[in-house]
Amino acid sequence: MLEKKILNISKIENTDKYDRKKVGYLSGMIGTFLNVTLGVSKFVIGILANSVSITADAVNNFSDAIYSFATVLGFKFSSAPPDKDHPYGHGRVEYITTLIISMMVMIVGVQFAKTSIERIINPEKIIMGKIGIAFLVISIFVKLWMSLFNRKLSKAIDSSILKATSIDCLSDVFTTSVVLIAMIFANYTTFPVDGVVGLIVSAFILFSGFSLAKETISQLIGEAPSVELIKSVLSDIEKHKEILGIHNYTFHRYGHLKTIATVDVEVDAEMSLIKAHNLMSLIEKEIYEKYEIVLVIHVEPVGGNFTEREIELKEITENWKNQFSYIKSMHDFAIYKQGDKYFVGLQLALDGNKLDKNFDENSLKSELEELIKNYDEELKTSITILYEYF
C-alpha cells in the first residue's frame, strides 16, 4: 500500500518515528494531483451535461486541491525551527492553515448554494452520458481510497490537517454519490433534481468547513490532551516509589511537535535536595524519551516538623475543605514570614467537572480567608485555586 511506502521512506534513522514534514509533503502532493484531475474532469462533464450539481462537485474538488497544496505549506512552516520571536516553534501554523482552508471551503459552499437555488427556481435540462456516469463512479472510489490513505497517515503522525483531509474526502464520497444518483434519475422526472442535489452538496461543503473550523479553533484556544495521555504520563511518574503524590498538572501544546507539561510532585521532606534533583531529572528524561513532552517538575516536601500553630490551622482548613465535594485536595500549606508580616499559603485543587455555571472563585477564597482571619486576624493569606478535569 502507498501509505506504508510513504511511512517507510519517512522513518527517522530507522526508528519508529516519522518525519512529519516529509509525510505531509507526500500526502499533499498526491492529494493535489488527484483533486486537480478529478476537478478538471468533473468540470468538463458538468459543462457538457449542463449540470450545476456536477459543476459544484468539481469546484469542491478544486477547493480540495487548494487544501492539499496548503497542507504542504502548513507542514513546511509548522516544522520551522524556533526563533527569538517564537521560542516554542511554529507548530500552531498547522492549525492556522487548517482554519484558513475551512473558511475557504465555507465560502465555496455559500456560492454554490446560491447557484443551486437559482437552478431550482429556473431548472434546465441535463444531458448526461454513460461516460460521465462511469467517471463519477470512478471518482467515488478514488475519494474513498484518499480518505483511508490520509486516515492511516494522520494516525501515524498525529496530524490534524491529515485527519481533516480524511474526513473531507469521506464527505466527498457521499456528495458525489448523491450527484451520481441524481444524474441517473434526472432524465426520468421534471423535478429540479440537479438544483436540489446541488443544494445538498453545498450544505455538506458548508458542514465540512464549519466542523473543521470548530475543531481547529478549539485547538488554537488550547485543547486538553487526551485523558489516556494524561493518565499514562502521571502513571509513569508515580511508578517511582519516592513520589508520594501528584497534583497541579498542566499540558501546553504548541502544535504537534512541541508539548510542555508541568506537574507538582510530593516527596518526603527528609529527602536531600541533591537526591530530589537527580530523581526529577531522571523522570523528566524518561517522559521526554517516551512521549516527547518537555516536563517541568515542582517538588513539594510533605511531612517534616510543623509547629503546633501550623498543625492546628491546617486541621481547621482541612475540616472546612471537606464540606465541599468539588474540592479534591489541599496542597502547599505553610505559614511563612515575609517582611514583618506572616502569611498562610496554600493551594486548592478543584474538580472542574463538579462546578456549575454559578460557581464564584472569589467567594470561595473570601470564605477561606475569613476562616483564617477568625483564627488569627494578623495572618495574611496567599490562596491559589487550581482546576483539574481528570
Where is average pLDDT lowest: 246-255, 271-280, 311-320, 341-350?
246-255
* pLDDT reported for residue 47: 86
Q: What percent of the chain has pLDDT over 70?
A: 94
9 has pLDDT over 60: no
In the CATH scheme, what architecture does the domain 308-388 have?
A: 2-Layer Sandwich (3.30)
Boundaries of every domain in the chain? 2-222, 227-302, 308-388
236 has pLDDT over 90: yes
347 has pLDDT over 50: yes
* pLDDT reported for residue 14: 45
Domains 2-222 and 227-302 share a fold: no
- Which amino acid, residue 267? V
13 has pLDDT over 50: no
* pLDDT reported for residue 283: 96
3-state secondary structure of 86: coil
Mean pLDDT of 330-340: 84
One DSSP character per residue, 242-280 reads T--EEEEEEEEESSSS-EEEEEEEEEETTS-HHHHHHHH
Angle of CA points 40, 45, 51, to nearest 5°: 115
* pLDDT reported for residue 237: 95
Q: Which residue has the cell 511531612?
A: 303
> Strand 327-338 and strand 293-302: pairing?
unpaired
Mean pLDDT of 42-61: 83
317 has pLDDT over 80: yes
* pLDDT reported for residue 376: 87
Measured from the Cβ of residue 188, the count of other Cβ atoms closer than 10 Å reads 8
More confident residue, 277 or 211: 277
pLDDT tens for each residue of 174-200: 778 877 887 787 777 778 887 888 788
Q: How confident is the model at residue 23 (pLDDT cuts 50, 70, 90)?
A: confident
CA 355 to CA 351: how far, in whole Å? 7
Indicate the pTM of the whole model.
0.65
Q: How confident is the model at residue 257 (pLDDT cuts 50, 70, 90)?
A: low
**What is the average pLDDT value for the chain, to the nearest integer?**
83
pLDDT tens for each residue of 105-164: 788 788 878 878 887 888 777 777 778 888 889 999 999 999 988 888 888 877 777 887
* pLDDT reported for residue 12: 47
Query: Taking Cα atoms as reference points, which of 215, 106, 206, 105 lies closest to residue 160?
Result: 215
CATH number assigned to the domain covering 2-222: 1.20.1510.10
* pLDDT reported for residue 15: 41
In the CATH scheme, what architecture does the domain 227-302 have?
A: 2-Layer Sandwich (3.30)
Total residues found in the chain within this entry: 390
Which among 188-202, 237-251, 325-339 has the top mean pLDDT? Answer: 237-251
